[in-house]
Structure 1
Amino acid sequence: MQLRSCRLVACPVGPSPPFRPCPRCSAMLLAQLSDPHVDRTRPHKAAALRRAVAFVATLPQPPDAVLITGDCTDHGHPDEYDEFEAALEPLPMPVFVVPGNHDDRAELLSRRPPPGEACESFMQYVVENFPLRLIGLDTQWPGHGGGELCAQRLAWLDEVLSQAPARPTLLFMHHPPVQTGLQVLDDIGLRGHAEFCAVVAHHPQVVRVVAGHVHLPLTASFAHTTVMTCPGTDATFQPAWAQPDKLVIQYQPPLALLHRWTAEGGLTSFTAVPEAAPWVTLHDGQRWAD
């Protein structure tokens, strides 16, 4: 299938109210956090999420929205969700969440009902009011560590993508649709990934698929596009690749992803350590600092 380029026309009247930009405006910034695993018995998990939120809230350019790609809590308990929601309160921009295998879908839906067109019985929805269309996918497979995209969810995705073939679109989900090469993680991967790939292949407006789950910064080709994964807010795993049948890791600093969309340049993605650090001007637009 030949790929089509998608360009948006800059809005002639300027942006609409804060954090709800006109869909025709030419730029936006997304922050992606993943896998907070808020746990009543391990308070450092919520503390790490609060540090990541503080990082996002103090970026020089506030993101237009924040994506959280699942495993919001470790056990799906209501008091864990209370702590999760409290940690997000400093964020003035919209926060869009999809469930992971550690989440309770019903509890999460009761607190964060889908903001747009949704797939019945799932936390799977469309966000239309940005220049980059956002579609959250629900890969939860209750009772399993792995994920699933069943026929119902895939048919819904195919339909909503067909409704806007010229709108550049980002898909966000918990389980990545690619393998890591680490057997323990791939055993809890995504069931239905081949069928999902076939759907995406028919929709060239999908510019990126972003996920979480594996706690690794992974980038891989997928259909005509790219998959990226965001590690957990508490740590990044550095695996021992020489032992692919095990999961032997180093704990490294957490990472967040920042995704910047412009009509001229498309989507570019950056990794960031979501911890407080000074901002230093290395070049003032005229010259390098001494």
Structure 2
Amino acid sequence: MTLIAQISDLHVQTPGQLAYGVVDTNRLVAQAIAQINQLQPHPDAIVASGDLVQHGTIDEYETLKTILSPLRSPLFLMPGNHDCRANLRQVFTHQPFSLSPLGHLSYAVDCDPLRLILLDNTHPKKKAGWLDEQRLKWLAHQLEEAPQSPTIIFMHHPPFLTGIPWMDRHQLEGERELKALVAKHQQVERVSCGHLHRGMYCRWAGAIASAQPSLVHQGGLELRPDTPSQFVMEPPAYQLHIWKNQSLISHIAFIGKFDGPYRFSDGRRVTSLTHN
């Protein structure tokens, strides 16, 4: 069994700041890290799929580094549209992208038997995602290099429509080319993304594409076409991807203290891991 925890959209700020004047992102992220550290067994890897900080400043990345430092599992970072590649690279000098000659911060990690591809689809001047010819060629090479390895592609911006009008106003540029490429490679189990602050799944390019909740605030589920972009303080959450018996299963795990667990057999509280 292989465990991959995916956290996303942390929006960490310098101490004392609230995102949008509302959200204490630093406190929420710290709570999430403490809860993930309690997982047994520990994840084999943790992927943070973008929007690591709010404004992309050096000070924010230094704060992020401190908050993430207690993690007990290997951590792999990638940027989102709120991030600054240069500052991210400057602070996190031990990440695989730190010495990369690429203009983008894409890289691959082998987490036996899984192959994790972290594809940077951000553009410094665009809110929407963007994949140019260089990045698509890089991805093609990564997929051709290990055709037998079950693969998860991590990106910040999802490649699919959500059905939520305010979310769908900005489309991923290069989506058609990406879809055609992924459809050629049956080893791709999942295209797992952040950005939208909401859990969702769809069939895409012969695989499953998904977005995941944020560790801090969630995108509003508002289906009317004339509504503005908005967030709600639904519970923070992350995804735990489990590779077992040649299959990838993904769980949404909520952050916080909730009542229980109770046994289905008699309603009594579970006090031992040996109880069923």
Q: TM-score, normalised by structure 2?
A: 0.87
Count of residues in correspondence between the two structures? 261
Within 1, Cα distance between the matches of 2:197 and 2:184?
Answer: 29
Distance 1:129 1:81 in 2: 26
Q: Which deviates the most, 74-83 or 115-124? A: 115-124
1:82 to 36, 59, 62: 62
> Counterpart in 1 of 2:250?
269
5+ residue gaps, structure 2, are 265-271
Aligned to 1:148, the other structure's residue is in SS state coil
Superimposed CA distance per residue, residues 56-89 of structure 1 (whole angstroms, 9 cap, x where no aligned partner): 1011221111111100011001111011111111
Of residues 70, 80, 85, the one that matches 1:100 is 80
TM-score by length of 1: 0.83
**CA offsets per residue over residues 138-184 of structure 1, 9 Å max, x none?**
01111111110110000010011101111110011100011122333
Q: Which residue of 1 aligns with 2:263?
A: 282
What is the root-mean-square deviation of aligned Cα atoms in Å?
2.3
Matched, 1:234 2:216: yes
Shift of 1:187: 2.5
Deviations 1:66-115 (A, max 9, x none): 11110001100111101111111111211111100000011112315553
Please list the CA deviations of residues 222-276 of structure 1 after superposition, one character each: whole Å capped at 9, or x if unmatched: 10101111121112234121346543554311121110002x2410001110224
* 1:1-290 correspondence to structure 2 within 5 Å: 27-40=1-14, 41-42=17-18, 44-110=24-90, 111-112=92-93, 114-115=95-96, 120-243=102-225, 246-247=228-229, 250-262=232-244, 264-277=245-258, 280=261, 282=263, 288=276
Identity of aligned residues (%): 34
**Residue of structure 1 in register with 2:267 after alignment:** none
- The whole-number CA distance in structure 2 between the counterparts of 1:134 and 1:35 is 19
Q: 1:235 touches 1:255 (CA, 8 Å); kept in 2?
A: no
